[in-house]
Amino acid sequence: MKYTVVLTAKYPPIARDILAGAFDIVEHPTEQARSEDDMITILAEADAAITLLSDPLTRLVLSSNPNLRMVANYAVGTNNVDVEAARDLGITVTNTPGVLTDATADLTMALILAITRRVVEGDDEVRTSGRCEWEPMKLLGIALQGKRLGIIGLGRIGSAVAERARAFGMEVIGARRGEKIDEILTTCDVISLHAPLTAETRHMIDAAALARMKPGAFLVNTARGPLVDEDALCDAVESGHLRGAALDVYEFEPGVSPRLMRLKNVVLAPHIGSATDEARIAMARIAATDVLRFFNGQKPLNAVT
C-alpha cells in the first residue's frame, strides 16, 4: 500500500516528479483563505502534505486527521502551523529555509529603491499621461549613499540585505529578535523588517514605534504582515511623519487595506519575496525530498519538530 501525499496547491512540477511512483498524490488547486473545515476535508486521506503558508494547520485540523504523520510547509516560516500541537500529536513538520534568502533580499532592495526613488509613481505618471516630461523638481527622491538602514531581524535574509545595502553605500545597523530597537527607530532613514511572526513580534511596529521613527523615514516589510499595525502605519504616512513605505506582506492577507491602496507613497507588492524560478523550484524540491526521506525512515533535512 502506498502512502498518500496531499499537495494543497499547484507547486512547481519537481515536487510531483520526486514523489511520483513512491506515493499516491492528490493535488489541489491553489486557493487563499482556507478555513479549518476546508483543511480538515483536504487532508482527510493524507499521510503527508505539502502545505502553503496560508493553510491554517491548527490543533483542530491536525487532530482531526489521524493518518497525518508529516507536514512539509512550503515556506521558511511556520506561523500557520500549531507547532506545539504537532509535537503533541507526533507529527513531523518541515520548512524550506535558505533557498529563498537571495530572492527575498533582492526584492527588499528593489522595494527600497522603488519607494526612495518613487519608481511606481513615475510609472503611473507615464502610463496615465502617455508622456515623459523632464522637470527639475519632479518626483524627487533620496540617494541611498550615506543613509542609514536599520534591519530588524538579522537572520539569513536580514544579513543578505545588509550585504546588498552596503554595496549601495548605506550605513547598516541591525538588531536580532528580542534586542532593543530604539536606536534603529530613532536614527535610521530606512527600516527593513526581517523578523519571524511570533506572539512577541506581532505589532512590533505599532503607533508608538512609528512615532519614534525618524521624521521622513521609510518602512519596508518583506517578512510577515502582522509585524506592522497597518492602521498606525497609514496614520504615520498620511500625517507626513513617514515619507513612505513599501510592503510585500500584509496584516490581513489575502486582503489589503483600502487605506494603503489610496496612498501614492506606499509601494505594494503581492507577496513575491521568493518569486523567482530558482527559489520556488528549490522550495518544492526541498519540501518533496523531506517527505520522501521521512517515509524512507531518514531524518528530514529541515525538521521544525
Dig out the grid coordinates for 252 from the structure. 490581513
| Residue 135: other Cβ atoms inside 10 A | 7
Confirm whether 253 is a catalytic residue.
Answer: yes
Catalytic residue check, 156: no
Catalytic residue among 117, 177, 271, 293: 271
Considering 16, 34, 118, 224, which one is annotated as catalytic?
Answer: 224
Q: Helix 277-295 to helix 101-116 angle, to the nearest 10 degrees?
A: 150
Is 203 catalytic? The answer is: no
Backbone φ, ψ for residue 234 (5° rounding): -60, -40
User: Of 253, 259, 285, 293, which is the active-site residue?
Assistant: 253
Measured at the CA of 177, the angle between CA 286 and CA 204, to 5 degrees, comes to: 110
DSSP line for the chain: --EEEEESS---THHHHHHBTTEEEEE----SS--HHHHHHHTTT-SEEEE-TTS-B-HHHHHT-TT--EEEESSS--TTB-HHHHHHHT-EEE---STTHHHHHHHHHHHHHHHHTTHHHHHHHHHHHS-----TTTT-----TT-EEEEE--SHHHHHHHHHHHHTT-EEEEE-TTS--HHHHHH-SEEEE-PPP-TTTTTSB-HHHHHHSPTTEEEEE-S-GGGB-HHHHHHHHHTTSEEEEEESS-TTTT---HHHHH-TTEEE--S-TT-SHHHHHHHHHHHHHHHHHHHTTPPPTTB--
Rounded CA-CA distance 77/197 in Å is: 8
Give strand pairing partners of 193.
Answer: 152, 221
Catalytic residues: 224, 253, 271
